[in-house]
Amino acid sequence: MNHQRALTLLTAYADGQLGPIRRMLLRRHYDRCPACLARLEALQTTREALRTKMAVHRAPPGLASRIASALPREPAPPPRQPSRLVWGFGASGLAGALAGVALTLMLVPSPDPLVSDVVADHVRSMMADHLTDVLTSDQHTVKPWLSARLPLSPVVKDLAPEGFPLVGGRLDYVQGHRAAALVYRRAKHTINLFAFAAKGPEEAAPSLHTRDGFNVITWRMDGLTYVAVSDVEADQLKDFVKLVRAN
């Protein structure tokens, strides 16, 4: 390759934008041309300085939620009436209130609010940098970190040998409850495992739900509600839940 051509392609060469044959031909020229080699070295030093020292600006913390709140959304399902309102209606009002409940149930074909809520949490957690507060694969770090911040002590296991490595944990809210969120990976997929204290039976068997392409498994264990959410296949999520529940 002639010198002028090699000089013109120097930038593309340093940027790794050329195919293997052109790279080889250029390399052969640069090795024998001190003028080109000096330029190539200068270029590489410049690139190195830029790549390692140029400021990288991160989005400010509130920006994601400001954008999210500007996007159109269907109104959230109406919250259940607080019980004290029902009491206030007295005997005659109670029938009306009950009729209202029946009507609501008929009009809204009961999308389980818990399932919608955790799917939304899962999606939010995938936004820039909200996945984990404590980033570690060590269950012995995650567990004390969580119990120092929450009045509950959920099961924390690293399931890396079984193909579900623990990535970290964070604090979250699910239906108004403070919740522990444990983050696991399955290949390139993320599994969020939420645990929180809500009223209910001590134990309840797992049940599978599907919403917007996400699989959700809920169950109760030791008086806590557990919810696993992910876009992995339902069977894989079932395996994951089996492992979490195993003693």
Partner 1 sequence: MTDDARTRRFELLAMPHLDAAFNLARWLTGNHADAEDVVQDAYLRAFRYFDAFRGANFRVWLLTIVRNAFLDWIKDNRSSRLVFQSADETIEAEPDPQPNVEAMLLERVDSETLTTLVEQLPAEYREVLVLREIEDLSYKEIAAITELPPGTVMSRLSRARTALRKAWQVQEGRS
Contact positions vs partner 1 (CB under 8 A)? 8, 10-12, 15, 17, 38-39, 41-43, 45-51, 53-60, 63-64, 66-68, 70-74, 119-120, 123-124, 126-129, 212
Cβ-based nearer residue to partner 1, 118 or 156: 118
Measured in degrees and rounded to the nearest 5, phi and psi for residue 50 equal: -65, -45
- For partner 1, the closer CB: 75 or 201: 75
Nearer to partner 1, 141 or 190 (CB): 190
Residue 105 φ then ψ, to 5° = -65, -35
Which is closer to partner 1, CB of 17 or CB of 207? 17
Q: How far is the CB of 176 from partner 1 (least distance, A)?
A: 20
Shortest distance, position 91 Cβ to partner 1, whole Å: 39
> How far, in Å, CA of 115 to CA of 172, rounded?
15
- Least separation, in Å, of the C-beta of 11 and partner 1? 4
Helices (H), the chain: 3-8, 10-14, 20-32, 34-53, 63-70, 83-88, 90-107, 113-125, 139-147, 234-245
CB of 187 to partner 1, least distance (A): 17
Residue (7 or 97) nearer to partner 1, CB: 7
CA distance 184 to 162: 12
CB 172 within 8 A of CB 179: yes
Q: Which amino acid is at 75?
A: P
Provide the minimum distance between the beta carbon of 68 and partner 1 in the complex, in angstroms, as a whole number.
7
Report the distance separating Cα 44 and Cα 20, nearest Å. 19
